[in-house]
């Protein structure tokens, strides 16, 4: 008799923790991901801003799971889920059958019905996108150095980040640091320290999940780093030349999208109700209503009171695995309970905000906490060491180790 | 009165050493390169084989030249040189005038009139190509793991390296190491240690610039690492399914081209005689016949007895700079004399060959020498440290730090 099969779709934090939670389960686990690596997404903005190399924040999934002998890793893209037949369909039309399914396919960039903006304002969800943003940012300074026309030069030296959530704040703060410190003195015709970094946010404060007092502290830290923060401004258009905000217009050759994500489309075929963000409204045990053999974890799962952050995805992944183990033993599944360890957002050098229950921190103490937490959580020792060296180096020298544009001028 | 202007085209070893040789010259130096980085090409094969990240072997040109205040760096592609008008033309049709010109645009992949082979057999000249090869190699093992058909699986597990020069030997040896050690135990359906790495060379020995005895030692070391070496075989076709060698055929999904390079096309407009490889036959002082204000250095220069290696390019770059300084002082230029410090070629773990005048080394001593020399020459301290850590790590663990495929399955 063959072992019951578990398919895990997606190997982000939710999927990887689900796989590891099944390491002693009497089951054949198959992990399917579109890429060959697990990505430490909280540091993706560092790859986009040339502080870290791509391999420093990623590890091959099959290397992580090498010793877990009940796990098979497949590089592939799940295009469909057919709950009635209990199989998934891959991009080459092959099907893979399951007894249990964990859907951990996460979220994707969302342009609120303006997909035509995407080519001019890349988002930051994958390594490819991070390297695209890195090339755009570095190339913009290069183009400015070659540009004779003052207005065009100024557009090359204007960087707009749309969206004042954690990603937008990190990107804007780091871009200002690059312009003011890293590139200082390296150009002969333009002054990179006069580059303009504008963070545009539609609501009346940055970092909405934090308290209004911390949001204000974050805004002040951003301004101190050299970021211009525009609150309460709605983007109404993005094109090759800049950003429209109602009647206003910002001439900018580099625009980054950090304003919205939506759920992976793989929530739809599950037949369960979705919330407005496209997330699957799961049962308290994280299973899909009517399908006790399917679990949804991470950003794709809508669980009241649980934010879309890495620690929540890990906890859900681990919990879904435990429920599968209980189900295999014919035991009742258990309700998921989120444990909130607090929230941290970095803004730039020595600048961050943190919230641990009622305790609020900002500035250097919050930044130090963020630094230690992220080094600690980086998945394997090698990466941790490489990241520490990269960071120590760039902290002291303001230099950034990954300032490599991989494509020539387009 | 403005300073005389020097344009340096290309910032490989020849161009960079020319720029640095002019650091005290009363001249305005402009360095133009298609990429924003100087590349340590002797280690490019390590990026292609996932041992090093791209930023580890490259450094932004403007960062290297930051303190050289008489140097301006432009990201751009020189499309034409017009010696009669003393200017170069960039990709956007803008022109840049010069009083002195150093052409250091190097060499490009050469398919001997079979450019249609290029899509199936990428060469290894740029970081982009290295990352392309890395993705192809890693994806091949992934595809094999998913492939049900035995013949197709075997084609995914067959790797052909065409060309038995230094690059081909390094690539083949490292590919065998990846298959036999790095990936061992990480797959469930295929056995990566049974992958086949075939090195095809048209002549009767590998590493032709070395002595026949060292070539034979290199071949033996390759075989010991698990490489199948085919000598005296001419490739007559390359397509998506494999390689044709006259009547024979090798079914292989991954083919790498290391068989030939030719000179950059920028030698042609100089009006000087070219040799069969398209290199400019320069005067003894490295200037172009009839154009004492133009110097050619590196792979693009044909100087009898001087090989196309990094140390020669550096020496030529430095010499051209010195001759420009002499010319500015109205002094006579001097003849270039190549100083041969020996040759080293690595094959794989503990395997290499080296030639220092009459002294010949192979195996572990040659490999150790190669390792020390390459760490020493890596351009800046940060890279040197990062490379040392990466190498120490992968030597002890057989793991490779950069095993990241940046594109999903195509």
Q: Average pLDDT by consecutive 10-residue portion of chain A (410 residues)?
A: 92 97 97 95 91 87 93 96 97 96 94 93 93 95 95 98 96 94 92 96 94 96 97 96 95 95 90 92 97 97 93 97 98 97 90 92 92 78 66 70 61
| β-pair type (A5-9, A95-97) | unpaired
Contact B186 A91 (CB under 8 A): no
Helix, strand, coil proportions of chain A in percent (round to 5)? Answer: 35, 25, 40
Asked if B34 reaches chain A (Cβ–Cβ under 8 Å), the answer is yes
Which secondary structure element, helix H or strand E, spans residue A410, and what is its range? none
Taking contacts as CB-CB distances below 8 angstroms, the residues of chain A near B389 are 385-386, 389
| Enzyme catalytic residues of B | 170
B53 touches chain A (CB under 8 A): yes
Cβ–Cβ under 8 Å, residues B145 and B135: no
Identify each DSSP E strand in B248-307 by its residue range: 248-251, 254-257, 261-263, 280-281, 287-288, 291-296, 301-302
Alpha carbon distances (Å) from B360 to A170, B211, B369: 55, 9, 12
Within an 8 Å CB–CB cutoff, is residue B185 touching chain A? yes
pLDDT on residue B410: 35
How does pLDDT run across A269-325, given as a tens digit for each residue? Answer: 999 999 988 999 999 999 999 999 999 999 999 999 999 999 999 999 999 999 999
Who among A66, A145, A382 is closest to B393 (CB)? Answer: A382
B187 → closest Cβ in A53, A62, A142? A62
CA distance B346 to chain A (A): 24
Contact check, Cβ <8 Å, A382/B404: no
Selected residue of B181, B187, B404 to mutate for chain A interface (largest A Cβ count, 10 A): B404
Tell me what pLDDT residue B383 has: 64
In this complex, do A58 and B407 lie within 8 Å of one another by their Cβ atoms? no
Confidence band of B260 (pLDDT split at 50, 70, 90): confident
**Polymer length in residues for chain A:** 410
Of A75, A185, A402, Cβ closest to residue B409? A75
DSSP assignment of A49-73 equals: TTSS-GGGGEEEHHHHTTT-TTEEE
The angle formed by the CA atoms of residues A85, A88 and A92, to the nearest 5 degrees, is 125
Distance from CA of A377 to the nearest CA of B (A): 18
Contact yes or no for A408 and B77 at CB 8 A: yes
How far apart are the C-alpha atoms of B182 and B178, rounded to whole Å?
5
Cβ contacts (< 8 Å) between B146 and chain A: which residues?
74-76, 94
Structure confidence by residue, pLDDT tens digits, B175-198: 999 999 889 899 999 999 999 999
Q: Is pLDDT of B118 > 80?
A: yes
Contact B35 A60 (CB under 8 A): no
SS3 (DSSP) at A74: strand
Q: Which of B295, B290, B298, B286 is nearest to B272 (CA)?
A: B290
User: Which residues of A are less than 8 Å from B138 in CB distance?
Assistant: 36
Query: In chain B, which residue's Cα lies nearest the Cα of A76?
Result: B409
Catalytic residue among A129, A170, A201, A283: A170
pLDDT digits (tens, 9 = 90+) for B262-304: 889 999 999 999 998 899 999 999 999 999 999 999 999 999 9
Q: What is the pLDDT of residue A408?
A: 40
Place of tokens 């098979």: A72
Would you call A62 an interface residue with chain B, using a CB distance cutoff of 8 Å? yes
Q: How confident is the prediction for chain B on average, in pLDDT?
A: 92
Chain B residue numbers with beta carbons less than 8 Å from the beta carbon of A72 are 145, 188-189
Token pair for residue B344? 């080293």
Residue of B nearest to A130 (CA): B406
pLDDT of residue B210: 92
Rounded to whole angstroms, the Cα distance separating A253 from A295 reads: 43
Inform me whether the C-beta atom of residue B191 falls under 8 Å from chain A C-beta atoms: no
More confident residue, B95 or A53: B95
In this prediction, residues B162-183 reach a mean pLDDT of 94
Structure ipTM: 0.88
The CB-side HSE value for A190 (13 A sphere, CA atoms) comes to 29
Identify the pLDDT of residue A119: 95
Tell me the average pLDDT across B368-379. 82
Please judge whether A54 and B406 are an interchain contact, meaning their C-beta atoms are less than 8 angstroms apart: yes
The least confident of A240-254, B118-132, B327-341, B375-389 is: B375-389
pTM of the model: 0.91
Which two tokens mark A191? 């002054």
Give the A window 63-92 contacts with B, CB below 8 Å: 63, 66, 72-77, 91
| B403/A55 Cβ within 8 A | yes
Contact B199, B230 (CB under 8 A): yes
pLDDT for residue A409: 36
């Amino acid at each position: 008799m063959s072992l019951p099969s578990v398919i895990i779709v997606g190997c982000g934090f939710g999927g990887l923790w689900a796989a590891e939670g099944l390491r002693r389960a009497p089951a054949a686990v198959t992990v399917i991901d579109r890429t060959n690596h697990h990505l430490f997404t909280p540091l993706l903005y560092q790859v986009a801003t040339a502080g870290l190399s791509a391999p420093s924040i990623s590890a091959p999934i099959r290397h992580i799971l090498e010793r877990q002998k009940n796990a098979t890793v497949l590089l592939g893209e799940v295009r469909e889920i057919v709950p009635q037949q209990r199989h998934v369909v891959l991009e080459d039309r092959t099907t893979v059958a399951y007894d249990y399914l964990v859907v951990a396919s996460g979220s994707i960039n969302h342009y609120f019905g303006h997909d035509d903006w995407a080519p001019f304002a890349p988002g930051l969800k994958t390594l490819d996108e991070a390297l695209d943003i890195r090339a755009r940012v570095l190339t913009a300074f290069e183009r400015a150095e070659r540009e004779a026309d003052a207005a065009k030069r100024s557009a090359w030296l204007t960087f707009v980040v749309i969206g004042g959530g954690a990603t937008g704040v990190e990107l804007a703060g780091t871009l200002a640091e690059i312009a003011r410190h890293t590139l200082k003195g390296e150009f002969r015709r333009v002054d990179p320290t006069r580059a303009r970094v504008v963070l545009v946010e539609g609501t009346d404060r940055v970092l909405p999940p934090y308290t209004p007092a911390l949001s204000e502290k974050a805004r002040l830290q951003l301004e101190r780093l050299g970021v211009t923060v525009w609150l309460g401004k709605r983007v109404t258009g993005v094109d090759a030349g800049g950003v429209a905000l109602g009647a206003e217009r910002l001439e900018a050759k580099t625009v980054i999208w950090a304003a919205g994500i939506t759920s992976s489309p793989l929530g739809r075929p599950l037949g369960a109700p979705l919330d407005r963000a496209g997330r699957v409204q799961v049962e308290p045990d994280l299973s899909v209503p009517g399908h006790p053999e399917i679990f949804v974890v991470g950003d794709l799962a809508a669980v009241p009171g649980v934010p879309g952050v890495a620690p929540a995805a890990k906890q859900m992944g681990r919990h879904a695995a435990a429920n599968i183990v209980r189900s295999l033993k014919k035991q009742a599944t258990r309700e998921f309970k989120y444990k909130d360890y607090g929230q941290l957002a970095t803004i730039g050098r020595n600048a961050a905000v943190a919230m641990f229950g009622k305790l609020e921190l900002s500035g250097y103490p919050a930044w130090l906490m963020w630094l230690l937490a992220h080094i600690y959580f980086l998945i394997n020792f090698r990466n941790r060491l490489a990241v520490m060296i990269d960071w120590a180096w760039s902290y002291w020298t303001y230099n950034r180790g990954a300032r490599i544009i991989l494509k020539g001028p387009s």
